[in-house]
């Protein structure tokens, strides 16, 4: 049911494009042999258009189909060399043409990449460059461009990216077949000036494909709504093995506060003194809380709250810091923004910050977020790869990356002592669902009759907290409890955490006037 719209779109497009079984294999030979035709390599069809322009001519470009495992594509051998002369101080070649990739029925494109074989000999006051740009459009992912470049300026290599690979944000069932209106999908260009020279041997286009997979089966869970009373919105972040829930809520004035649920009948509101907004994220069995807050200047900081005492956590030199997860040993995981506007994960242990980076390490596209840490010191989080959000486990200096199979935008948010994890993913239609990963098996977490479900925390007994949207678009929080798997969805129970009444606040000045008795009692506890 979740893929109904995408499958209808797939069927309609297939009627307009060549049927896979009737498409001949792409022949080895020259590019001239395939222009204006459709041919197949492995599980892919390539629909070549007759719009070629440029030099060398198609009959002078060798064409080789390539298939290896789940990759299929083709290689163009050009063997062109640009060497300027005193009479002609600029030498170049330019080729433009269009083709549209199409997977076999039941298969989807997951990765698009392009690469070049080239060398560039530089010289002072001279330039030499080779480049391929391949832009395709997909029903579910929009435009995706692979751009491989070698650039030598004044004798120094300033760009050395001989290959460029892009994971589709959400797997593409099929290209739209339109490309960019009025423009070729593919451009190959090389040039040199002055006394520099460049040679472009070949260009390769490859597509990684895989079977079209449905969303994982629903996890056998019984759901209950756990919104706090009297607030605009409740967002639980994690749940301890003893069942305590920590999270944040927004009050009717629009401000955010942290909270810890003590039992069904009581909870604690946490406000960092002087903060505009406070967000509680992680909780230990001892009662220590981590999170982040926004101060009066708008700056964001991490915090650790222990026995009612707040300690600010700032990664040195960071633009902001957020503490997100904590284990019972007091090890903390989180994220920070560096001065170059990159985002990085971190751990904090015994007073030492350690950066965790997966994917790009610096700059705008650096984006690693550490969301959870369990008792074994295993860290879970999300990174940008660099076209889609993927998730990772990190332990003993080693990363294990993963995605919900056949889906997109996998975001891990919670991790328990057993190594089970929860988070969210987008299906082929960009609909968000929660997931639970246990013993290598993914299952979907979807609040019944809700939408945009996100699982945020899980404890060792498999209880899950998260968020969902109701039919009117309002966000709610939930608790999901494992039940014996019977193959059926389980309707939500009528259950809320706490009781109606005024919302307590530990930001009251009277609470901050501590005496020994209050300190020994731990964090502020306001009961209804």
Tens-digit pLDDT profile for residues 49-85: 999 999 999 999 999 999 999 999 999 999 999 999 8
Report yes or no: 431 and 453 within 8 Å, Cβ to Cβ.
no
Q: Is 74 helix (H, G, I), strand (E, B) or coil?
A: strand
Give the DSSP H or E segment for 512.
helix 509-512
Rounded mean pLDDT, 265-269? 78
- pTM, 2 dp: 0.82
What is the pLDDT averaged over residues 397-406? 94
pLDDT at 1: 34
pLDDT of 206: 98
Indicate whether 157 pLDDT > 60: yes
C-alpha to C-alpha distance for 21 and 38, rounded to whole angstroms: 12
pLDDT recorded at residue 366? 80
pLDDT-derived band at 140, boundaries 50, 70, 90: confident
Q: What is the pLDDT of residues 273-298, one digit of tens each?
A: 999 999 999 999 999 999 999 999 99
Residue 233 has a pLDDT of 92
**What local confidence, expressed as pLDDT, does residue 11 receive?**
39
Buried b (16+ CB within 10 A) or exposed e, 254-275: ebbbbbbbbeeebbbbbbbeeb
Which pLDDT does position 429 carry in this prediction? 86
Question: Could you tell me the end-to-end alpha-carbon distance of the chain, in angstroms, rounded to an integer?
Answer: 44
Least confident of 218-227, 261-270, 375-384: 261-270
- Please name the residues in contact with 455: beta carbons below 8 A apart, sequence gap of 6 or more: 413, 414, 422, 423, 424, 434, 435, 436, 445, 464, 465, 466, 480
359 contacts 347 by C-beta, under 8 angstroms: no
Looking at the predicted structure, is the pLDDT value of residue 409 above 60? yes
pLDDT at 229: 86
Whether the per-residue pLDDT at 511 is higher than 50: the answer is no
Q: What is the pLDDT of residue 428?
A: 87
If you average pLDDT over residues 448-452, what whole number do you get? 93
Res 180: pLDDT: 73
CA separation for the pair 74, 52 (Å, rounded): 16
Query: Do the Cβ atoms of 48 and 34 come closer than 8 Å?
Result: yes
Phi, psi of 5 (to 5 degrees): -65, -45
The mean pLDDT value of the chain amounts to 87
Q: 332-341, 415-424, 511-520: which range is least confident on average?
A: 511-520
- To the nearest whole percent, how much of the chain has pLDDT over 90? 75
Band (20; pLDDT cuts 50, 70, 90): low
Instruction: Report, in angstroms and rounded to the nearest whole number, the Rg of the chain calculated over CA atoms.
Output: 28
Mean pLDDT of 476-484: 94
Is residue 122 exposed (0-12), middle (13-18) or buried (19+ Cβ within 10 Å)? buried
Which residue from 234, 232, 277 is spatially nearest to 252, judged by alpha carbons? Answer: 232
Per-residue pLDDT of 172-201, as tens digits, reads: 888 877 777 778 999 999 999 999 999 999
More confident residue, 272 or 3: 272
Q: DSSP label at 175?
A: B
In the prediction, which pLDDT does 489 show? 53
Instruction: Indicate the length of the chain as a whole number.
Output: 528
Structure confidence at residue 263 (pLDDT): 67
pLDDT-derived band at 364 (thresholds 50, 70, 90) equals low
What pLDDT shows up at residue 500? 31
């Amino acid at each position: 049911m979740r893929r109904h719209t995408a499958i209808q779109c797939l069927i309609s497009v297939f009627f307009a494009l060549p049927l896979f079984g009737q498409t001949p294999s792409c022949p080895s030979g020259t590019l001239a042999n395939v222009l204006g035709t459709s041919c197949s390599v492995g599980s892919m069809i390539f629909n070549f258009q007759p719009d070629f322009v440029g030099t060398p001519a198609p009959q002078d470009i060798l064409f080789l189909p390539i298939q290896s495992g789940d990759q299929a594509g083709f290689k163009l051998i050009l063997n062109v060399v640009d060497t300027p002369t005193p009479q002609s101080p600029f030498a170049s070649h330019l080729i433009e043409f269009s083709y549209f990739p199409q997977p076999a029925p039941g298969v989807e494109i997951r990765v698009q990449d392009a690469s070049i074989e080239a060398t560039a000999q530089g010289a002072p006051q001279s330039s030499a460059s080779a480049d391929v740009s391949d832009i395709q459009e997909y029903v579910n992912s929009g435009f995706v461009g692979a751009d491989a470049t070698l650039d030598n300026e004044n004798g120094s290599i300033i760009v050395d990216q001989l290959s460029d690979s892009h994971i589709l944000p959400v797997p593409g069932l099929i290209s739209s077949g339109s490309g960019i209106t009025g423009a070729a999908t593919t451009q190959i260009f090389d040039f040199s000036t002055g006394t520099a020279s460049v040679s472009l041997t070949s260009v390769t286009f490859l597509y990684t494909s895989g079977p079209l997979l449905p969303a994982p089966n629903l996890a056998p869970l019984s759901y209950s709504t756990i919104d706090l009373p009297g607030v605009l919105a409740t967002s639980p972040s994690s749940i301890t093995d003893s069942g305590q829930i920590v999270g944040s809520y927004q009050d009717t004035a629009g401000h955010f506060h942290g909270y810890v649920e003590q039992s069904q009948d009581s909870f604690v509101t946490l406000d960092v003194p002087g903060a505009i907004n406070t967000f509680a994220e992680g909780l230990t069995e001892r009662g220590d809380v981590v999170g982040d807050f926004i101060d009066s200047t708008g700056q964001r900081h991490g915090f650790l709250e222990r026995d009612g005492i707040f300690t600010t956590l700032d990664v040195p030199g960071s633009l902001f810091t957020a503490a997100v997860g904590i284990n019972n040993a007091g090890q903390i995981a989180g994220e920070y923004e560096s001065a170059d506007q990159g985002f990085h994960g971190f751990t904090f242990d015994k007073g030492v910050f350690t950066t965790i980076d997966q994917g790009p390490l610096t700059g705008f596209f650096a984006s690693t977020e550490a969301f959870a840490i369990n008792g074994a010191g295993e860290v879970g989080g999300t990174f940008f790869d660099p076209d889609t959000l993927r998730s990772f486990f990190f332990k003993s200096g080693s990363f294990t990356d993963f995605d919900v199979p056949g889906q997109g935008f996998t975001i891990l948010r919670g991790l328990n002592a057993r190594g089970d994890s929860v988070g969210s993913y987008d299906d082929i239609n960009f609909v968000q669902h929660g997931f639970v990963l246990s013993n290598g098996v993914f299952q979907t977490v979807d609040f019944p009759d809700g939408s945009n479900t996100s699982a945020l925390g899980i404890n060792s007994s498999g209880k899950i907290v998260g968020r969902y949207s109701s039919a009117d678009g309002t966000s709610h929080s939930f608790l999901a409890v494992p039940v014996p798997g019977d193959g059926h969805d389980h309707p939500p129970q009528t259950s809320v955490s706490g009781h109606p009444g005024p919302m307590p606040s530990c930001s009251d000045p009277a609470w901050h006037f501590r005496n020994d008795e209050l300190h020994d009692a731990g964090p502020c506890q306001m009961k209804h």
